[in-house]
Amino acid sequence: MNARSHVFELSVEGRQIEEVVSTLFHSLLLHRSVGKFNYQHEGSYSVGTLGFVDEDCDFIDFTYVRVASELLSSNVKREVLTFRDALQQSASQEESGQISLEFFQKKRARWPFQPECIPWEVWTVKLDVITLSNEHERQICRERVGEMLSEKVLYIADIMNRHEYIPKTPNQSEVDLIFDTSYNDVQPYLHRITHQINGPSSSSVSTTMRKFIKDTLAL
């Protein structure tokens, strides 16, 4: 099955990395989370309520909405911070990197194999990290990144409202194959966050081949 793939490309300052990625991923997760399912008996279930929280950014003129779940929020934050640190620790001044939020569903395999993961939607954020010399440039960048995030959020809304394929609501026995049921309060679709750091000369053949093989194996 082909997964839908969307890519965002932005140029940001180092300190904006976390907020840019959090804005986009939380906007996506809000759409791709539902209230907690409570199965009454086989074939029927009730759905809990999804709360939401407004989050102001410190380094961008922007406010985004996230799902009200501390655990989900901290899980996303952990991944994003790892990505940010990896990106900033790079020796070069002009680093770039990408982080992906991938939604997938599982398919049970025969024993003793692990269930197969089939991605159905992948969102990738490619970031170029820029260094600014003065406060005036920072202010301009702060506003510009805010405007770009607005465009991206509108794009996300547009895609989400096309109502393309999302996995069917499963029976109780199969709910773990579609949703991440590890949260007590909310129930996002199964997802994972992966990242990759590229130096300035990232497009070498070996890197591309390595990535290609790695991605193939991951599927």
User: Between residue 112 and residue 171, which ones bind another protein under the rule CB under 8 A?
Assistant: 149-150, 153-154, 156-158, 160-166, 168-171
**Which CB sits closer to another protein, 36 or 191?**
36
- Select from 3, 53, 81, 197 the one that contacts another protein (CB under 8 A): 53
User: Between residue 79 and residue 108, which ones bind another protein under the rule CB under 8 A?
Assistant: none
Task: State the nearest-atom distance from the C-beta of 205 to another protein, in Å.
Answer: 38
- Select from 4, 61, 81, 180 the one that contacts another protein (CB under 8 A): 61
Task: State the nearest-atom distance from the C-beta of 45 to another protein, in Å.
Answer: 6
**Which CB sits closer to another protein, 136 or 162?**
162
Task: Tell me the three state secondary structure of residue 71.
Answer: helix
Q: Work out whether 49 is an interface residue with another protein (CB under 8 A).
A: yes
In the chain, what is the greatest distance between 2 CA atoms, to the nearest angstrom? 63
Q: Work out whether 10 is an interface residue with another protein (CB under 8 A).
A: no
Cα 120 to Cα 174: distance, rounded to the nearest angstrom: 17
Closest CA to 58 of 187, 119, 145, 120: 145
**Which CB sits closer to another protein, 92 or 171?**
171
**Which CB sits closer to another protein, 31 or 138?**
31
Cα 88 to Cα 85: distance, rounded to the nearest angstrom: 5
Q: Work out whether 4 is an interface residue with another protein (CB under 8 A).
A: no
| Structure letter (DSSP) for residue 112 | T
Contacts of 52 (CB under 8 A, 6+ apart): 30, 65, 66, 67, 68
Task: State the nearest-atom distance from the C-beta of 210 to another protein, in Å.
Answer: 36
- Select from 1, 2, 43, 133 the one that contacts another protein (CB under 8 A): 43
Q: Work out whether 180 is an interface residue with another protein (CB under 8 A).
A: no
The two structure tokens encoding residue 156: 């996300």
Q: Which residue's structure tokens are 């895609």?
A: 159
Q: Work out whether 58 is an interface residue with another protein (CB under 8 A).
A: no
Contacts of 50 (CB under 8 A, 6+ apart): 30, 33, 34, 35, 67, 68, 186
CA distances from 90 to 94, 191, 196 (A): 9, 27, 12
Task: State the nearest-atom distance from the C-beta of 171 to another protein, in Å.
Answer: 5
**Which CB sits closer to another protein, 110 or 168?**
168
Are residues 56 and 74 in contact, defined by beta-carbon separation less than 8 angstroms? no
